[in-house]
Amino acid sequence: MLSKLCEWFWNERLWFPVGLGWADLQDRDGQIYAKGADLWVTLPIALVFLIIRQIFERTVALRLATAMGVKEKVRVRAAPNPTLETYFCTTSKHPAQSVVESLGKQIGCSQQQVQRWFRRRRNQERPNQLKKFREASWRFTFYLLAFFTGLAALIDTLLPSQYWYYMIELGFYISLLFSVASDVKRKDFKEQIVHHVATILLISFSWCVNYIRAGTLIMLVHDAADYLLEHIVEDERSDREETDDSEEDDEPPESEKRLKIKNGPLQNGHSASNNNHHRKTE
């Protein structure tokens, strides 16, 4: 069954006009044709890209971030709490008000304290500005170099230069697909996966069917425009951090503080001196 399906898929009538076949794509007389077997080299290239990326982000990107004033923001960490941590990891990161009340009763904390804990815990999972800068600088550097490489490959009429341009581009997008789980998760995460898979399939298809010149031009335009998406699409965890404004609600107003300092502690809405005066008159 599988052999018949394979034979039908690679039937010459589906791939070639009348009078041509797979035999016409055999290398001869100095003419070299693209083959699907050439794409196997993209897997080790993708692994090499992953290694180069780690080195780049830990050396070049860090120094560039320091030069541009990009720093890692220190966040207030949530206090260890097994009950809240279990709910956060297994149920929801945004508990409803009724759940907040229930959790507060379990651990003996107020609702504001529980809400503040969840805010701080969510902020812990947000990637810092430095991590986002390192990832963006790596992609921008590749797109910049790939653009000029594509220009040279487009001008050159020799297949070897276009071959390596294809393999490098394909290896890069395979490496992005490998690292997407550890990268900053963006709002268009699913669309990003579809984009990488579609790009890999289209590059592979254009190589196999020998649409090399057209494919080189398309990849050149793609590299020139893809980095612009870094400014358009925000990542899911890069929104402004949730602030602990509610912490201020736990403290009494400033006017009440001054009244305490002036007249002493308040009792039933009156200062201690006023309460003593009422006791004497009684």
Return the domain boundaries, the chain.
Answer: 30-71+128-232, 74-126
- So what's the pLDDT on residue 278? 45
More confident residue, 21 or 135: 135
Summarised one tens digit per residue, pLDDT across range 6-23 is: 888 878 887 778 888 777
Summarised one tens digit per residue, pLDDT across range 72-82 is: 777 777 788 88
Which H or E run contains 266?
strand 266-267
- The pTM score is 0.67
Q: What is the mean pLDDT of residues 85-99?
A: 83
Does 171 score more than 90 pLDDT? Answer: yes
More confident residue, 60 or 255: 60
Cα separation values, 105 from 23, 94, 116, 211, Å:
77, 18, 15, 67
Distance CA 121, CA 93 (A): 8
Kindly report each contact of residues 141-148 with a partner whose C-beta sits within 8 Å and lies 24 or more positions away, as own/partner: 141/56, 141/60, 142/172, 143/223, 143/224, 143/226, 143/227, 144/227, 146/172, 146/219, 146/223, 147/220, 147/223, 147/224
CATH class of 74-126: mainly alpha
Q: How many CB atoms lie within 10 A of CB 170?
A: 22
Does 259 score more than 70 pLDDT? Answer: no
